[in-house]
């Protein structure tokens, strides 16, 4: 453009004649500038027309938004996907104006699938978010969102079909079949759903159901083969269907096409327990595999194994190990993974601190009470069947010898359990097990926790259980409340009638005992005297007060910021105890409202003591952690979830960087901010994007 024309345009603008200046720009082929000039005087129709005719669709979209021109918006939303770069610019405009669905659609068109999925989910468009995850190969995330969508709208046939295919891909044939049966009700997706249903039923060896599904499908497509194996071969290229296709090199490393074996946790004469990664739910699980022959002993072992699955799967209690799945074809049992090991492992060093014993007994009794109310007797209660989670929670497991009271019990097979913890009636087979049978085993466990020794150490366990009386626990542990002696005398009674009648009775007796340990009190008092700083009256605390003699925390390591690491003796975990003035306490209480599995947990806020007890996550700072692509992707998802919880609670992090993320085995944790931030969720998301490019 010549200097003369530019001068004329500037003069028109200076005179407030923007429309005339825009018209002159159009004559000179500067349509984008013309659009901006029209926009400056709010002549949106001409601004849209000029930009759209010249191919500046992102500009036209921005002007259409300003004008709230629905027709132009609809038209441009159809055009922009063909222009990815402009779609990206338009998406930023849409997001800034709160048009989240438009922004998601445009991000998707621009190839920014992760951002699109996030925006769709934020807008409540779960099926669209799931579709984005699915297209990016994130099938677990997609499956979870399809499940949520179906809870909202059970009639969404497409979501049901897509979920069924994903579940089938993970070998979850039964769950896949349930989803596909919903999809069959949708005429638009009936044919595809029936195809997968045939395959799922066949994989579950439900051959009649597979044949029925094929018959329904042949009414729609009569040209299909009549036999299921021929149909599967024609449709999937293998007569075993998708189950056969999953037998390649990659899938051969998976159990049931879903569980990737990590390592062996233990092995015995009848099977193995493996640590595995559940690809669908992205979690660690314990897989118990039965390996027995077809002998009568093998068949008995299988019956007990199946019983364990049936009994445990029917129990839902925080002190009972959860069973996720029983696969009869393996056969194998999938349970929650208890990362803290067993009570047997902790007892190898001898007697336990009273605080830990109290925690274990409370948990074991709560679990026993639940199973007894269901009419179930464990029959093999022992330290090896009491498990600890990563955070110190205690749960009962291994119900392989459990049975329902009302089924009765024959003497054949009654001698099942571990002799060191077996009640006299189990040893002799004189009567069927009752709740008091489990309480006898509980008494043996409590005795060992208190003294470090078994009440009946063997080797002649039978004679000892039937005839001997063990030494009083107080004679083996100095300063122990004599009430333990009286309780254990009853728990280890030779007949059922000698023992307490219920878990509740045992709990009441335990609650009335003195749980203070003189040795621990002396040690804690010494630590407190040596390390407690001089008091500073009338000042807010600058360091967290160390644990008093009667408390459960043992000082491990002071920190420069006035906090210190401590051992929680009750739950067997390391925590951070930090100073907490009233202002900090108010902030922590707000943070506690955002609590989630990947946000540093707040265990306790002691307003009077001026301190807070906070999780000390396992692992390393992200700046030092070595992660492969899968681990980084998992950490990205987990930290995003933690940020979303903060934002949903009306908070921002404001200090998101490498040092704010702790990466441990299977879990990334977002550390809490040290102080409130005047930042914004958008700034958090920008920091997140730079952290996980």
Domains in the chain (CATH in brackets) are 3-183 (1.25.40), 337-511 (1.10.510.10), 516-573 (no CATH), 580-693 (1.10.510.10)
- CA-based nearest residue to 92, from 601, 682, 618: 682
Q: Tens digits of per-residue pLDDT, 29-46?
A: 888 888 888 888 888 898
The mean pLDDT of 362-376, rounded to a whole number, is 88
- 3-state secondary structure at position 525: helix
Here the tokens at position 49 are 């027309």
On whether the CB atoms of residues 510 and 361 are closer than 8 A, the answer is yes
455: left (phi over 0), alpha (psi -120 to 50) or beta: alpha
What is the rounded distance in angstroms from the CA atom of residue 531 to the CA atom of residue 160?
62
On whether the CB atoms of residues 292 and 302 are closer than 8 A, the answer is yes
The single-letter DSSP state of residue 571 is: T
Beta-bridge partner residues of 396? 320, 386
Q: Per the residue annotation, which of 380, 398, 438, 684 is the catalytic one?
A: 380
- 3-state secondary structure at position 436: helix
On whether the CB atoms of residues 230 and 241 are closer than 8 A, the answer is no
What is the rounded distance in angstroms from the CA atom of residue 501 to the CA atom of residue 247?
54
Query: pLDDT at position 343, please?
Result: 93
Q: Tens digits of per-residue pLDDT, 88-132?
A: 899 988 888 888 999 999 988 888 888 898 899 888 899 999 888
Residues 6 or more apart in contact with residue 644 via CB below 8 angstroms? none
Here the tokens at position 275 are 């640590």
Query: pLDDT at position 619, please?
Result: 78
- CA-based nearest residue to 91, from 78, 77, 107, 79: 107
Q: Cα 493 to the chain's mean position, in Å?
A: 43
Beta-bridge partner residues of 662? 621, 669
**In which order are the strands placed within the sheet that holds 620-621?**
620-621, 661-664, 667-670
The mean pLDDT of 423-449, rounded to a whole number, is 91
Range of lowest pLDDT (99-113, 248-262, 442-456, 517-531):
517-531
On whether the CB atoms of residues 325 and 425 are closer than 8 A, the answer is no
Q: How far is CA 639 from CA 645, 648, 669, in A?
A: 10, 14, 7
Report how far apart the first and last C-alpha atoms of the chain are (Å, whole number). 42
Q: Which of the four pLDDT bands, split at 50, 70 and 90, describes residue 437?
A: very high
Query: pLDDT at position 421, please?
Result: 93
Mean pLDDT of the residues in the chain: 81
> Is the pLDDT assigned to residue 558 strictly greater than 50?
yes
> Is the pLDDT assigned to residue 14 strictly greater than 60?
yes
Q: Tens digits of per-residue pLDDT, 355-368?
A: 889 989 999 999 99
Query: pLDDT at position 282, please?
Result: 66
Q: What is the 3-state secondary structure (H, E, C) of 293-329?
A: CCCHHHHHHHHHHHHHHHHHHCCCCCCECCEEEEECC
Query: pLDDT at position 184, please?
Result: 92
On whether the CB atoms of residues 59 and 51 are closer than 8 A, the answer is yes
What is the rounded distance in angstroms from the CA atom of residue 575 to the CA atom of residue 68?
55
What is the rounded distance in angstroms from the CA atom of residue 687 to the CA atom of residue 672?
15
Most confident of 236-240, 342-346, 410-414, 568-572: 342-346
* pLDDT above 70 coverage of the chain, percent: 82
Here the tokens at position 9 are 């345009």
* Torsion angle defined by CA atoms of residues 54, 55, 59 and 62, in that order, rounded to the nearest 10 degrees: 110
Q: Tens digits of per-residue pLDDT, 633-644?
A: 888 988 998 898
Range of lowest pLDDT (146-150, 528-532, 615-619, 645-649):
528-532
The mean pLDDT of 236-249, rounded to a whole number, is 60
**Count, residues in the chain:** 693
Q: Which of the four pLDDT bands, split at 50, 70 and 90, describes residue 142?
A: confident
Which residue has tokens 């392989």?
400
Q: Which of the four pLDDT bands, split at 50, 70 and 90, describes residue 512?
A: very high
Q: Which of the four pLDDT bands, split at 50, 70 and 90, describes residue 392?
A: confident
What is the rounded distance in angstroms from the CA atom of residue 103 to the CA atom of residue 84?
13
Q: Which of the four pLDDT bands, split at 50, 70 and 90, describes residue 295?
A: low
Query: pLDDT at position 289, please?
Result: 80
What is the rounded distance in angstroms from the CA atom of residue 265 to the CA atom of residue 464?
33
Which residue has tokens 């074809």?
329
Q: Is 20 tagged catalytic?
A: no
pTM for the model: 0.49
What is the rounded distance in angstroms from the CA atom of residue 367 to the CA atom of residue 132?
42
Q: Tens digits of per-residue pLDDT, 308-351?
A: 666 666 677 888 888 887 776 667 888 888 888 889 989 988 89
List alpha helices for 382-499, DSSP H: 424-428, 435-451, 461-467, 483-491
The mean pLDDT of 601-618, rounded to a whole number, is 83
Beta-bridge partner residues of 325? 334
Query: pLDDT at position 181, please?
Result: 92
Query: pLDDT at position 659, please?
Result: 83
Query: pLDDT at position 335, please?
Result: 87
């Amino acid at each position: 453009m010549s200097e003369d024309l530019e001068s004329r345009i500037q003069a028109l603008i200076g005179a407030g004649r923007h429309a005339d200046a825009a018209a002159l720009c159009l004559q000179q082929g500067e349509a984008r500038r013309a659009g901006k000039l029209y926009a400056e005087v709010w002549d949106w129709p001409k601004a849209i027309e000029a930009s759209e005719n010249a191919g500046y669709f992102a500009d036209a979209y921005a002007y259409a938004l300003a004008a709230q021109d629905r027709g132009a918006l609809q038209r441009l939303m159809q055009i922009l996907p063909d222009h990815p770069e402009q779609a990206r610019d338009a998406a930023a405009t849409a997001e800034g104006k709160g048009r989240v669905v438009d922004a998601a659609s445009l991000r998707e068109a621009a190839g920014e699938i992760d951002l699109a999925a996030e925006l769709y989910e934020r807008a409540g468009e779960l099926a669209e978010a799931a579709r984005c995850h699915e297209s990016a190969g994130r099938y677990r995330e997609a499956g979870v969102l399809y499940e949520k969508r179906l809870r909202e709208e059970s009639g969404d046939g497409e979501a049901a079909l897509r979920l069924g295919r994903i579940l089938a891909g993970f070998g979850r044939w039964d769950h896949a079949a349930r989803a596909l049966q919903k999809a069959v009700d949708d005429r638009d997706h009936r044919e595809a759903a029936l195809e997968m249903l045939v395959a799922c039923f066949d994989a579950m060896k439900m051959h009649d159901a597979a044949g029925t599904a094929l018959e329904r499908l042949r009414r729609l497509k009569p040209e299909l083969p009549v036999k299921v194996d021929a149909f599967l071969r024609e449709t999937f290229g293998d007569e075993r269907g998708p189950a056969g296709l999953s037998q390649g090199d990659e899938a051969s490393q998976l159990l049931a096409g879903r569980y990737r074996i990590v390592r062996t946790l233990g092995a015995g004469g009848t099977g193995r327990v493996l640590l595995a990664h559940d690809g669908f739910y992205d979690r660690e699980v314990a897989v118990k595999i039965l390996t027995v022959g077809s002998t009568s002993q093998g068949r008995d072992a299988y019956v007990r194994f199946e019983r364990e699955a049936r009994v445990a799967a029917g129990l839902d209690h925080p002190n009972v190990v959860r069973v996720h799945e029983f696969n009869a074809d393996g056969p194998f049992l999938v349970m929650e993974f208890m990362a803290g090991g067993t009570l047997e492992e902790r007892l190898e060093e001898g007697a336990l601190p009273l605080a830990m014993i109290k925690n274990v007994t409370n948990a074991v009794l709560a679990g026993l009470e639940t199973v007894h109310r269901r009419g179930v007797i464990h029959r093999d209660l022992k330290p090896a069947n009491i498990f600890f989670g990563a955070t110190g929670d205690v749960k009962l497991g291994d119900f392989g010898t459990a049975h329902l009271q009302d089924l009765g019990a024959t003497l054949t097979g009654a001698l099942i359990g571990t002799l060191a913890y077996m009640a006299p009636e189990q040893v002799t087979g004189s009567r069927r097990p009752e709740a008091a049978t489990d309480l006898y085993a509980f008494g043996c466990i409590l005795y060992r926790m208190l003294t470090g020794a078994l009440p009946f150490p063997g080797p002649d366990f039978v004679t000892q259980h039937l005839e001997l009386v063990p030494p009083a626990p107080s004679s083996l542990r100095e300063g122990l409340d004599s009430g333990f002696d009286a309780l254990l005398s009853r728990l280890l009674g030779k007949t059922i009638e000698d023992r307490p009648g219920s878990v509740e009775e045992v709990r009441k007796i335990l609650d009335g005992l003195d749980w203070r340990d003189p040795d621990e009190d002396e040690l804690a008092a010494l630590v407190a005297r040596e390390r407690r700083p001089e008091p500073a009256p009338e000042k807010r605390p600058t360091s967290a007060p160390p644990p008093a003699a009667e408390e459960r925390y043992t000082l491990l390591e002071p920190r420069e910021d006035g906090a210190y690491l401590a051992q929680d003796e009750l739950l067997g975990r390391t925590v951070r105890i930090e100073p907490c003035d009233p202002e900090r306490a108010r902030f922590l209480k707000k943070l506690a409202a955002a609590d989630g599995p990947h946000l540093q947990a707040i265990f306790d806020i002691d307003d009077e003591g001026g301190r807070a007890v906070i999780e000390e996550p396992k692992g390393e700072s992200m700046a030092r952690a070595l992660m492969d692509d899968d681990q980084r992707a998992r950490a990205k998802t987990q930290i995003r979830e933690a940020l979303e919880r903060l934002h949903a609670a009306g908070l921002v992090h404001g200090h998101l960087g490498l040092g704010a993320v702790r990466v441990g085995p299977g879990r990334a944790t977002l550390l809490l901010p040290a102080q409130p931030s005047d930042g914004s969720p958008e700034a958090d998301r920008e920091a997140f994007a730079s952290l996980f490019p």
